[in-house]
Chains A and B, each alone.
Chain A
């Protein structure tokens, strides 16, 4: 890791600097600039320590482990430490569940981002009107995103999942049977829809704020030129708020690629792994054997996810950056 080298190299001199205000050499050695550097490292040290201990060290360990076959470190023998690409080879050639989960995750992320932004945009346009009690309506729309995932999934299950759920019974009453929202073909869409529904309120508020920044003169000029309302919306409003949309879509995309709790609690990956996401696949493998299973393998999977997320985030940023208006620069 390049970043870790950077961290360790640069921290050391700083630590040496702080406790050494040698009295005679003080004027020469402890210059204002050096003191400033020392203070800089002193103040950022909580972050730096945390980064090294809780991010970089585990990551490097995970990378090393991913090339080994070991289970629990305590029970390792020397032969567990043999360097091999077996884990990675297995992932890409044999592990159908994991490959399936990668596909699921990308489907999930694209649906989540596109659906989420589109509906939030429509909702923002509606909520942007000056109505009596608009603050209340906005807070209501946002409130659903605050329901903790454990409670939300319980509610959705009682409402939608299985024959004894409220909606299924309601449908049965009016003669619709066998309409399963959690079947092999529908489960993923259902899960994404529920996630979009819960997140709409907060995305909408972001878009509403961005809408305030669109200069009215532009709208008026276009109106005088005879542009209709829909056309004005797509050719002026949307491009003007594109930086907010872009930010929402990037963070949404990165978040969606790591979806775990929402789906885990609703479906647990069922039916037949159609809703298994990448992170679920790693953790289910890990938990199923109580931490005893191929640890190296789980680490290899995690690293594959890491690399995939990095690559796609960078591509995503590159593609979107071209079409975004960041204001006058």
Chain B
């Protein structure tokens, strides 16, 4: 994105070049500085990537002990069977199904709800808009723990937790998504206010309904920001551990996060190579998503972090 392109012109970067002109700096020194910069940047980037390397390294070991033994043992693709074994041991596909179901429904609900609510705040100003908007912003500070315990009690009393239906038992993780995300609503509202009103007024003249204006005029202009929100909702739900660990006690309902943590902590004699294979399978989709949608991620982190 812009940020990456402009990085070249960043102040910290441009400083040395200009300083070089003022002080007497030989080309040799300049090259040394450049080499050092490359060295440190690449070295640090590699360090950041080490957890992934270790994960894959561990997943391709023959025995559990060689995963953590020193000196390192060369991994071998002959052990690719570990992945099949891990899929079996962790009941991977069932967990994947559960994860995807919760992920799709909650993301859809959260994002569409956020869009509608943001539209309300952006376009229908009245005397209640301001106080409700302040209420919205203040809910961002609400710690999840105050609602978590009593929510569990409510669901339990209403029979959600021990319901024979699988979907009903997953509902506590899906229903709250209807609230939307306060942060997303805030971002979307700002974005919508940036779109000139004259366009929707013209559409209104032509008899377009309020919902029609949102869907036909505003949404097509908001694809990038929506992509960002969907990507973050997806990664959040895929990785979520707290929610599932509270509401889903039954192995049949385990999400991937629960399968992994259950397998990891089940016994001290956990087959480490299988654990790493499972972790690789669990992490890989996110990594693929990151590298295929780099722009969405990088832009997303920036827009969701700087108040304007």
Specify whether A and B are partners. yes
| Interface residue ranges, A against B (CB under 8 Å) | 3, 6-7, 10, 33, 36-37, 39-44, 46-51, 54-55, 57-59, 61-62, 65, 73-74, 123, 125-131, 134-144, 146-155, 157-159, 164-166, 169-170, 172-173, 200-202, 205-206, 208-212, 214, 216, 219-220, 223, 229, 232-233, 237, 243-244, 247-248, 251, 254, 257-258, 260-261, 265, 278-279, 282-283, 286-287, 291, 295, 298-299, 302-303, 305-306, 309-310, 313
B19 to chain A minimum Cβ distance, whole angstroms, is 7
Q: For A7, A42, A50, A138, which residue has the most chain B Cβ atoms within 10 angstroms?
A: A50
Convert B139-157 into 0s and 1s, putting 1 for each residue whose CB lies closer than 8 angstroms to a CB of A: 1011111111111111011
Besides the contacts A44-B116, A150-B282, what 8 more A-B pairs have beta carbons closer than 8 Å? Answer: A127-B41, A143-B49, A153-B264, A155-B55, A158-B67, A216-B9, A244-B305, A287-B246
Chain A hits for B286, CB < 8 A: 146-148
| Chain A residues within 8 Å of B79, by CB | none
Roughly how many angstroms separate A41 CA and B127 CA in the complex, as a whole number? 12
Which of chain A's residues have a CB closer than 8 A to the CB of B119? 43
Q: Are A150 and B257 in contact (CB under 8 A)?
A: yes
CB-based contact A302/B146 at 8 Å: yes
Contact: B153 with A46, CB < 8 Å?
A: no
Q: Assuming A51-B139, A208-B3, is B120 touching A40 (CB within 8 A)? A: yes
CA distance A98 to B306 in the complex (A): 35
Which chain A positions have C-beta within 8 A of B149?
Answer: 62, 282-283, 286, 295, 298-299, 302
- Which of B3, B49, B131 contacts A140, CB < 8 Å? B49
Point out which of B65, B131, B149, B306 has the most chain A C-beta atoms below 10 A from its C-beta: B149
B29 contacts partner chain A, Cβ-Cβ < 8 Å: no
Q: Establish whether residues B51 and A144, one from each chain, have CB atoms under 8 Å apart when the complex forms.
A: yes
**Closest chain B CB from A318 CB (angstroms):** 14
Contact across chains for A142 and B297 when beta carbons are under 8 A apart: yes
Q: Interface on B for A, CB 8 Å cutoff?
A: 2-4, 6-16, 18-19, 22, 37-38, 40-42, 44-46, 48-49, 51-52, 54-55, 58, 65, 67-71, 113, 116-117, 119-121, 124-129, 131-132, 135-136, 138-139, 141-154, 156-157, 175-180, 185, 210, 235, 238-239, 241-242, 245-246, 256-258, 260-261, 264-265, 272, 275-276, 279, 282-283, 286-287, 290-291, 294, 297-298, 301-302, 305-307
Distance in Å from the Cβ of A43 to the closest Cβ of chain B?
A: 3
User: Is B301 a contact of A129 with CB atoms below 8 Å?
Assistant: no
Tell me whether A54 and B179 are in contact in the complex, defined as CB-CB below 8 angstroms, given that A150-B241, A154-B279, A155-B55 are known contacts: yes
Q: Which residues of B contact A210 (CB under 8 A)?
A: 306
Contact present for A73 and B153 (CB under 8 Å): yes
Contacts of A43 in B (CB 8 A): 116-117, 119-120, 124, 210
Q: Give complex CA distance A125, B8 in Å.
A: 12
* Given the contacts A58-B147, A247-B307, A306-B146, A139 and B11 also touching, CB distance less than 8 Å: no
- 12 A-B Cβ contacts within 8 A? A37-B126, A44-B121, A46-B117, A47-B179, A128-B7, A134-B7, A135-B294, A136-B45, A148-B239, A154-B261, A158-B58, A278-B145
Cβ contact within 8 Å between A149 and B257: yes
Let me know if B272 and A158 touch, CB within 8 A: yes
The interface centre, meaning the residue of B46, B67, B132 with most chain A CB atoms within 10 A of its CB, is B132
Contact of A148 among B71, B142, B238, B291 (CB under 8 A): B238
CB distance from A63 to the nearest CB of B (A): 9
CA distance A159 to B53 in the complex (A): 12
Please, how many angstroms separate the alpha-carbon atoms of A160 and B94 in the complex? Answer: 31
Partner of B44, one of A40, A141, A237, A258: A141
B290 near A142 (CB under 8 angstroms)? yes
Q: Cβ of A223 and Cβ of B282 under 8 Å apart?
A: no
User: Chain A contacts of B241 at CB under 8 A?
Assistant: 148-150, 261, 265
Return A181 CB to nearest CB of chain B, in Å: 14
Tell me if A258 and B143 are in contact (CB < 8 A).
yes
Which A residues lie within 8 Å of B16 (CB)? 229
Q: Using Cβ atoms and an 8 Å threshold, which residues of chain A touch B307?
A: 243, 247
By CB atoms of chain B within 10 A, which of A10, A43, A138, A309 has the most? Answer: A43
Interface contact A247-B306, CB-CB below 8 Å? yes
Closest CB of chain B to A19's CB: distance in Å? 17
A151, B152: Cβ atoms under 8 Å? Answer: no
A123 touches B44 (CB 8 A): yes
